[in-house]
C-alpha cells in the first residue's frame, strides 16, 4: 500500500494556486509584453516612476526607522514624565489611513487652509507648494512608523530586559549597550518592521496620487484605466513585484542563521531615569508623531464630521456603510475560512511542502493592491471570454461583479487571517488534535469538535483584523468594485479628489472609529 496525499493537502494546494493565479497572469502577460504604449512608457516616464518609488522607499524607510526605533527605545529604557502615556499613544497614528492623512494635510496647508491664513494674518504672503515629494514622505512615515514601533518595542522588551542587567554588570555604558547588544539583537525586528512599512509604501495609492507623485502604483492605474493597455499594466506591475521580491529576499537574508532570541531569564527591566534636559527632548520628540500623526488630523476629522454631519448623514451614507460592512464581512469570513483550511492542513501535515505552500499563499500581502486588482481583472477577462465562447452567453459573468472584489481581498489579506490561525494553533499545541485522531475521529471531526472550539476567540479576533484592513483598503477596491459601488474608503477618496475634502470627514471618521477595535486588541496583546 502506498501513501497517497491527503485530501486536505490537495485542497490546500488548489486554494493556494487559485490565490496565486492573478500574479501568474500578470507575469505571463509581462513576459512577452510588447506594445507601442509600453515602448513609449519605457522611453519616457517609466524611469521616473521607478525613481520616485525608490526615493519614497528610502525617505519613508529612514523616517519610520527614526520615529519607530527611537520611540520604542525611549519608552522601553527610560523613565520620564508621560512615559506610559506615550507608550500607548504612539500606536494611534495607525488609526488614520495614509490617504486620509494626505487629504487632511492638503486642506490644512492649502491656499485657503488655516496655516496659510494664519501666516497671511501675520502679514507673511509667502506661499509654499505642498504638492511635493517631501510632504508625501513625511506623511507616509507618520502613517506607517507604528509598524516599526510595535515590532521593535516587543523585541526590546523580550530580549533586552534579560540582557541589560548582565551588560550593566560588565560595566558597559548605556550607549555602548544599546549600540553593541540591544540594536544588533533587535535588528531582525527592525528590518521586519521596515519591510512592512516599505511594502505599504509601494502599495500606497491615494496619498501619492493626491499629491501628484507618480509611482509604480499610480502608473499601474494609469496604464489600465487611462491607456487601457494590458501589457503596460502587466509590465509595470511586474516591476513593482520585482522590488517587493527584492525586499523580501533582503529581509530573509538579514535574518541569517544567528539566533536573536535570548534564552536568558526574563528579568524586570530597571528603567533609567532621564535627566531634565533629556526628558524635555524625549517628550518633544515623541510629541511630533503623536501630534501630527494622530491628534491634529483626528481633531480635524471630528471637527468637519461634526460640521457636515447634518448634510452628509443621509440615505446614501447609510447605504455606503452597509455596503462597505457587508462586503468586508463576507470577504473577511472567506479569508478566515481559507486561512483555517490552510492553517489546519499545515498543523496536521507538518511537512516542508506545507510550509512553502503557506508562504506562497500569503505572498499577496506584500504585493501592491493595484497590482493584485489588475491581475484579477486580466484573469476575469480571460475567464469571461472563455465562458462566453463555451456557453454562448451574452454578458460578462465575472467582470464587474462583487466576486472579483471579494477575491481580491482574499489574495491581499490572507496573511492577516492565517497569522491569527497559526498563532492560536501554536498556543493550543498539537496534542489535543492527535489525541482526537487516536480516538478514531477523522480530521474534519477533529477540526469541528476540538480545534475549532478551542481557537474560536482568536479566530474572531482574526476576522476583525481582516475586516478592518478591508475597510481601509483603497487601490484594489477602486479598481475591482462594481460600477457605482461605493465603500467608505472609495467615497472618502472621491470626495477628496473632487475638492470636497471637508465633506469627506464623516466617511473618514467612520473608518477611524471602526479601526479603534484592532488597536485595542493590539494594545492588549503587546502589554
Partner 1 sequence: MKPLLRLDDIYKRFGSKEVLQRISLDIQRGEIISLLGKSGSGKSTLLNVIAGFESPQQGSVTLGAREITHTPANKRDIGFVFQNYALFPHMNVLENITFGISHLPKKEQRSKAAQLLELVQLQAYANSYPHQLSGGQQQRIALIRAMALEPELILLDEPFSGIDAILKTQIQKQLLQILRATQKTALIVTHDAKEAMAMSDKIIYLENGRITQYDTPENIYRNPKTKEIATSFGVANFLQRDGKLYCLRPEACSLARDGEFPVNVTHCMFEGERFNVEVRLQNTFLRLFCSSRPQNNQLRLSIDWDKAVELEKIN
Binding site for partner 1 (CB under 8 A): 1-4, 352, 429, 431-432, 434-443, 446, 449-450, 453-454
Helix pair angle (402-428, 315-348), 10° resolution: 50
Report the nearest approach of partner 1 to the CB of residue 405 (Å).
37
Q: Shortest gap between Cβ of 441 and partner 1 (angstroms)?
A: 6
User: Is the Cβ of residue 246 or residue 432 nearer to partner 1 in the bound state?
Assistant: 432
| Strand segments (E) across 151-293 | 272-273
The span from the CA of 364 to the CA of 340, in Å, is: 17
Q: Smallest distance from the beta carbon of 9 to partner 1, in angstroms?
A: 12
The smaller minimum CB distance to partner 1, of residues 47 and 350, is found at: 350
Helices (H), 211-275: 216-221, 230-255
For the bound state, the minimum distance from the C-beta of residue 449 to partner 1, rounded and expressed in Å, comes to 8
Query: How far, in Å, are 5, 188, 259, 357, 466 from residue 256 at the CA level?
Result: 32, 9, 8, 21, 30
What is the DSSP secondary structure assignment for residue 367, as one 8-state letter? S
Between 53 and 436, name the residue whose CB sits nearer to partner 1: 436
Nearer to partner 1, 1 or 258 (CB): 1
| Three-state secondary structure call for residue 470 | helix
Of 187 and 437, the one with the shorter C-beta distance to partner 1 is: 437
* DSSP string for residues in 310-362: HHH-SHHHHHHHHHHHHHHHHHHHHHHHHHHHHHHHHHHS--HHHHHHHHHHT
Question: Which residue, 261 or 456, has its beta carbon nearer to partner 1?
Answer: 456
How far is the CA of 82 from the CAs of 74, 88, 219, 524, in angstroms? 11, 10, 44, 19
Rounded to a whole number of angstroms, the minimum distance from the CB of residue 349 to partner 1 is 10
Residue 101: count of CB within 10 angstroms of its CB: 25
CA 523 to mean position of chain CA atoms: 17
Q: Are 525 and 157 in contact (CB under 8 A)?
A: no
Residue closer to partner 1 (CB basis): 6 or 120: 6
Least CB distance from residue 357 to partner 1, whole Å?
A: 16
- Residues near 94 by Cβ (< 8 Å), separated by ≥ 6? 146, 515, 519, 522
Tell me the C-alpha distance between 342 and 281, whole Å: 48
Whichever of 283 and 428 has its CB closer to partner 1, that residue is 428
* CA 505 distance to own-chain centroid: 22
Least separation, in Å, of the C-beta of 445 and partner 1? 8
**Toward partner 1, which CB reaches closer, 242 or 432?**
432
Question: What is the nearest approach in angstroms of partner 1 to the Cβ of residue 433?
Answer: 8
Give the C-alpha separation, 293 to 106, whole Å.
Answer: 14
Q: How far is the CB of 347 from partner 1 (least distance, A)?
A: 12
Amino acid at each position: 500500500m502506498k501513501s497517497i496525499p491527503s485530501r486536505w493537502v490537495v485542497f490546500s494546494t488548489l486554494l493556494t494556486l487559485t490565490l496565486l493565479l492573478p500574479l501568474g497572469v500578470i507575469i505571463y502577460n509581462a513576459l512577452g509584453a510588447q506594445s507601442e504604449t509600453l515602448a513609449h512608457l519605457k522611453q519616457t516616464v517609466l524611469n521616473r516612476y521607478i525613481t520616485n518609488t525608490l526615493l519614497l522607499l528610502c525617505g519613508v524607510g529612514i523616517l519610520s526607522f527614526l520615529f519607530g526605533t527611537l520611540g520604542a527605545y525611549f519608552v522601553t529604557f527610560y523613565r520620564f514624565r508621560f512615559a506610559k502615556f506615550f507608550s500607548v499613544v504612539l500606536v494611534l497614528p495607525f488609526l488614520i489611513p495614509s490617504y486620509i492623512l494626505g487629504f487632511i494635510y492638503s486642506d490644512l496647508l492649502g491656499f485657503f487652509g488655516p496655516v496659510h491664513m494664519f501666516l497671511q494674518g501675520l502679514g507673511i504672503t509667502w506661499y509654499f507648494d505642498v504638492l511635493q515629494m517631501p510632504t508625501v514622505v513625511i506623511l507616509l512615515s507618520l502613517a506607517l512608523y507604528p509598524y516599526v514601533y510595535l515590532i521593535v518595542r516587543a523585541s526590546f522588551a523580550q530580549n533586552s530586559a534579560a540582557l541589560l542587567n548582565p551588560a550593566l554588570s560588565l560595566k558597559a555604558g548605556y550607549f555602548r549597550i544599546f549600540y553593541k547588544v540591544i540594536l544588533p539583537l533587535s535588528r531582525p525586528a527592525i528590518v521586519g518592521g521596515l519591510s512592512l512599512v516599505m511594502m505599504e509604501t509601494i502599495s500606497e495609492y491615494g496619498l501619492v496620487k493626491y499629491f501628484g507623485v507618480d509611482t509604480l502604483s499610480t502608473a499601474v492605474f494609469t496604464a489600465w484605466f487611462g491607456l487601457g493597455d494590458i501589457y503596460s499594466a502587466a509590465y509595470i506591475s511586474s516591476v513593482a513585484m520585482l522590488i517587493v521580491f527584492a525586499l523580501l529576499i533582503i529581509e530573509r537574508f538579514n535574518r541569517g542563521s544567528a539566533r536573536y532570541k535570548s534564552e536568558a531569564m526574563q528579568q524586570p527591566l530597571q528603567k533609567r531615569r532621564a535627566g531634565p534636559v533629556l526628558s524635555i527632548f524625549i517628550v518633544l520628540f515623541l510629541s511630533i508623531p503623536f501630534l501630527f500623526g494622530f491628534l491634529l488630523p483626528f481633531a480635524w476629522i471630528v471637527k468637519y464630521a461634526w460640521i457636515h454631519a447634518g448634510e452628509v448623514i443621509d440615505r446614501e451614507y447609510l447605504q455606503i456603510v452597509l455596503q462597505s460592512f457587508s462586503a468586508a464581512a463576507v470577504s473577511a469570513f472567506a479569508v478566515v475560512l481559507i486561512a483555517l483550511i490552510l492553517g489546519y492542513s499545515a498543523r496536521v501535515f507538518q511537512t516542508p511542502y506545507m510550509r512553502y505552500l503557506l508562504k506562497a499563499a500569503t505572498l499577496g500581502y506584500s504585493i501592491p493592491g493595484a497590482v493584485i486588482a489588475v491581475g484579477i481583472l486580466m484573469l476575469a477577462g480571460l475567464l469571461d471570454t472563455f465562458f462566453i465562447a463555451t456557453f454562448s452567453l451574452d454578458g460578462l459573468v465575472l467582470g464587474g461583479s462583487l466576486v472579483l472584489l471579494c477575491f481580491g481581498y482574499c489574495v491581499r489579506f490572507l496573511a492577516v487571517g492565517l497569522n491569527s490561525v497559526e498563532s492560536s494553533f501554536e498556543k493550543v499545541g498539537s496534542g489535543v488534535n492527535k489525541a482526537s485522531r487516536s480516538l478514531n475521529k477523522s480530521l474534519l471531526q477533529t477540526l469541528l469538535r476540538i480545534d475549532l472550539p478551542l481557537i474560536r476567540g482568536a479566530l474572531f479576533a482574526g476576522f476583525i483584523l481582516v475586516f478592518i484592513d478591508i475597510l481601509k483598503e483603497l487601490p484594489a477596491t477602486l479598481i475591482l468594485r462594481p460600477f457605482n459601488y461605493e465603500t467608505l474608503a472609495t467615497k472618502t477618496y472621491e470626495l477628496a479628489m473632487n475638492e470636497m475634502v471637508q465633506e469627506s470627514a464623516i466617511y473618514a471618521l467612520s473608518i477611524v472609529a471602526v479601526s479603534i477595535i484592532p488597536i485595542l486588541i493590539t494594545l492588549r496583546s503587546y502589554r
